[in-house]
Amino acid sequence: MSVEIQKINQRLEGELIHGDRLYGVPFVLPGDKVGYRIIGRGKRRRIVLESIEPVAPEFSRYQRQIPFCDHFTKCGGCLGQYFSIEDQFQLKAGPYIDLIKSKFHLNTLSILPNQDRRYRNRMDFVVEADTIGLRPIGNYRGFVDIVSCKIQQEKSDLILHYIRSLIKQNPELPFHRKTKTGILKYVTIRQGKISGAVILTICKDTANEPTLHHFQNKLIELLKQFEQNHNYQFSLTQCEIGPLSETSAVEIGQVLYGQSFFEESLGPLYFQVPVDSFFQPNPVGFYKLFEAAIKEIEKLSVNSTISTIESIIDLYCGSAVLSLVFAKLLPSIQIIQGADFSKSGIELGKANIEKFNITNRTISFELQAIDLNRSPIQFQDSSLVIVDPPRAGLAVGVIEWLNWVCTSPLLLYISCNPMQQIKDIDSISNCYQPVFAAVTDPFPQTAHLESAVLLQRKATVE
């Protein structure tokens, strides 16, 4: 079967209709003719491409770019290398910008990325038999051997090269998912501004294997040599998962070399990030969005639309990173109140604020580890509320609190899922009105975006 691709969606995939179902076709442009077949049944049906006949350049709406990665079209990590940065941004952000305009009558600030590669500070590579790499798109059971990943930062790519060489020298080390034998399942590489980390995820009950000890010792030697040559340290830590688990870099069990954290920056502040915890994958790209929102808040203050920002409530606060950057940039802030599902994140947040108080000024704080769906949110009134939820959007409990309890004059909603953000804003529209919106693409070549909407509380609640 063959068909001509007519449209590219927000995920940078071509759209193909077969029977009663819409399929996403990666690595194509409008006008490309694709040969395909459908395999599987029911919900497990998926499309398999057999051929692609590229559209002639003179008939294409887009100028096809030359991919910069040898693994493009095989690896599922990147989807957009056929498109320019500008075209990617329009495809990904265009529907969001249009919807913000039609629903809220706002012109969205568009923040394009400065770089299209070497921006990620974290990559998780799967180890399977003779493969060290990533998975193909739409096939979690498949594996693509990755010699070099062009979207991770350069030092990390060097470390990947060294680790690949060591693994090839130790054929008993890789895990085999069919037979559930072997040791090493994942290698995670994280590169911060000051230091980095390598995390080995091994199969449970294999920590004492001689093959693993030999590999660890050789890798530590390489990391020490790397530190001497580049004046940059990658620590080495290790964690364990079961033979059926496919989660990398879980709670750290053992520090083999260096520290249990790496050091990364967001704007003007540096943070010690536990190697198994979340941090923005592209802090430089994300900070541009955050900075634009802060400038808008300052503009409202200058125009006397709101009072001075003296206190903030940070929901989904994690380790209080965003709160502290706010406190650094807005000296008027005296109080931070925050809540998150994660107890470990809250404890780290308390430590981060205490460190901030030593080197900067004293901030009063109250951080709570609570279930934002079920537990009541009980904070004193604040000048500003920040929410930065996961992709699923705001918890029901947070929406209810914003609608019925919160009286803060400003709400800043930061999102990694812009279309869900709009749905959530609709659910609090009786109380809050959007006054500023911005969207950026910190993750070129992928389908992901980050957006920020600043909302002001209505004088009269509807």
176 three-class SS: strand
Is it the case that residue 303 has pLDDT exceeding 90? Answer: no
Work out the pLDDT band at 304, boundaries 50, 70, 90.
low
Residue 253 predicted with pLDDT over 80: no
Q: Per the structure block, which two tokens stand in for 142?
A: 């498949």
Highest mean pLDDT among 11-25, 50-64, 341-355, 435-449: 435-449
Overall residue count recorded for the chain in this entry: 462
pLDDT more than 70, % of the chain: 99
Question: 122-128 and 234-241: which strand pairing?
Answer: unpaired
Per-residue model confidence (pLDDT) at position 79: 95
Instruction: Find out whether 34 and 51 touch, Cβ atoms under 8 Å.
Output: yes
Q: What is the pLDDT of residue 7?
A: 95
Q: What is residue 363's predicted lDDT score, i.e. its pLDDT?
A: 94
Structure confidence at residue 374 (pLDDT): 83
Q: pLDDT category, 251, cuts 50, 70, 90?
A: confident
Backbone angles phi, psi at 290, to 5 degrees: -60, -45
pLDDT of residue 405: 93
Mean pLDDT of 53-75: 94
CA atoms within 13 Å, Cβ hemisphere of 145:
10
The overall average pLDDT reported for the chain is 94
Contacts (Cβ under 8 Å, ≥6 apart) of 399: 424, 427, 428
Confidence (pLDDT) at 462: 64
As a whole number, mean pLDDT of residues 185-196 equals: 98
The residue ranges of DSSP E strands in 155-310, in sequence order, are 184-191, 196-203, 234-241, 254-257, 261-266, 269-274
**How big is the chain by its Cα radius of gyration, in Å?**
24
Percent of the chain's residues with pLDDT above 90: 85
When pLDDT is averaged across residues 235-262 and rounded to a whole number, the result is 93
Beta strands in 54-143 (DSSP E): 109-111, 122-128, 131-134
Which domains, and CATH codes, for the chain?
Answer: 2-64 (2.40.50), 87-115+280-457 (3.40.50.150), 122-274 (2.40.50.1070)
- Confidence (pLDDT) at 461: 65
Q: Distance between the two ends of the chain, CA-based, in angstroms? A: 55
- Range with lowest mean pLDDT among 173-182, 266-275, 296-305, 322-331: 296-305
Q: What mean pLDDT comes out for the span 356-363?
A: 94
CA distance 84 to 81: 7
pLDDT at 305: 63
Tell me, what's the pLDDT at 301?
77
Is pLDDT of 147 > 80? yes
pLDDT value at position 373? 85
pLDDT at 285 over 80: yes
What is the arithmetic mean of pLDDT over 218-236?
98
